[in-house]
């Protein structure tokens, strides 16, 4: 279940808990709604912690400073791809 599914669970749970007056024999819809919200929150927390661990941290880049007194010529590039 992805992040969208978790958010839907939270929304359905909130609707069942706060916005309905249905009486089903043997089923407490308020409790079912609270359970849906809790499961959705656990899913969001799990999803965000996994996403945080997968995030790649790039090392800080070091700026390249060229020597203004050094002039490049074609022989400086041994791989043939130099400009």
pLDDT one-digit tens code per residue, 12-69? 999 999 998 888 888 888 999 999 999 999 999 999 888 877 766 666 677 777 766 6
Enter the pTM of the model. 0.59
Domain segments of the chain as ranges: 3-54
- The pLDDT of residue 49 is 86
Mean pLDDT of 62-80: 62
In terms of phi and psi (left: phi > 0; alpha: psi -120 to 50; beta: otherwise), the region of 69 is alpha
């Amino acid at each position: 279940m992805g992040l969208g599914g978790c958010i839907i669970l939270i929304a359905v749970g909130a609707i069942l808990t706060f916005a309905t007056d249905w009486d089903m024999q043997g089923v407490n819809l308020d409790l079912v709604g609270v359970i849906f919200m809790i499961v959705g929150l656990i899913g969001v927390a799990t999803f965000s912690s996994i996403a945080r661990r997968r995030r790649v941290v790039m090392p800080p880049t070091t700026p390249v400073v060229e020597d203004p007194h050094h002039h490049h010529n074609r022989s400086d590039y041994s791989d043939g791809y130099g400009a």
